[in-house]
Amino acid sequence: MKTKMILASSNSHKLREFREILEPLGCEVVSQKEAGIDVDPDETGSTFEENSAIKARAVYEIAKCAVISDDSGLEVDALGGEPGVYSARYGGTRDDRRHNELVLEKLSGVPDEKRTARFIAAITYIDEKGEEFCFVGKFEGRIGYCERGKNGFGYDPIFMVGDISSAEMTPDEKNAVSHRGKALRLLAEHIMKNIPEENDA
């Protein structure tokens, strides 16, 4: 029996990553747009976990079926954790290129050892019964000095892991180590432990 779940997003990059990991487990993942749900709640939380839950609850209230949502972003130590929960609208814009330029500008003159950073993803899962779970993944690296690579999106071109940027990784390489990949695998473990019991009922 397939478990259908709605992703509280219409972001095609996120939808692909969720499907790659969850569909082999027998889960059918559809975007909220595909499910005919048009809701865009204000993300008023102060943490990734809070914002992820806000989005998942808004869709669950309408759909009353399994829902998954994530909130993710970049934390740069030398910037006191910025951009953090404001990653998608850093500097008052939603322009990825401008976000990257702003981070690089703020880190001008900062040496390698102080350019440490991490991506964080918080995934909220609300099951058919309305029970809520949260899974968090982190991806450690540092901020480079220019944009590199074409494979990623967001801050990937300036996020360095060893000698390459996240945007220079293949999708499989990135999924194996990324924040969202780690959080998704924790979610997958939870689903694998619980789906058989539901199917046997």
Burial class (CB in 10 A: 0-12, 13-18, 19+), 80: exposed
The crossing angle, in degrees rounded to 10, of helices 179-200 and 12-22 is: 50
Residue with tokens 């290129």: 97
pLDDT in tens, 37-56: 999 999 999 999 999 999 99
Residue 195's pLDDT is 61
CATH 3.30.70.141 assigned to domain 3-200? The reply is: no
Which residues neighbour 15 within 8 Å (Cβ) at sequence distance 6 or greater?
A: 7, 9, 29, 31
Break the chain down into helix, strand, coil percent, rounded to 5: 45, 25, 30
Residues 100 and 145: beta-carbon distance below 8 Å:
no
Residue type (1 letter), 104: L
Q: What is the mean pLDDT of residues 69-91?
A: 96
Residue 176's pLDDT is 87
Q: Is 164 strand, coil or helix?
A: strand
Of 17-26, 127-136, 158-167, 176-185, the range with the lowest mean pLDDT is 17-26
Active-site annotation, residues: 71
The domain ranges of the chain are 3-200
- Angstrom distance (rounded) from CA 81 to CA 101: 17
Residues 173 and 151: beta-carbon distance below 8 Å:
no
Residue 200 has pLDDT above 50, yes or no: no
- Angstrom distance (rounded) from CA 190 to CA 80: 33
pLDDT band at 24 (very low <50, low <70, confident <90, very high): confident
Statement: the pTM of the whole predicted model exceeds 0.85: yes
- Angstrom distance (rounded) from CA 157 to CA 31: 26
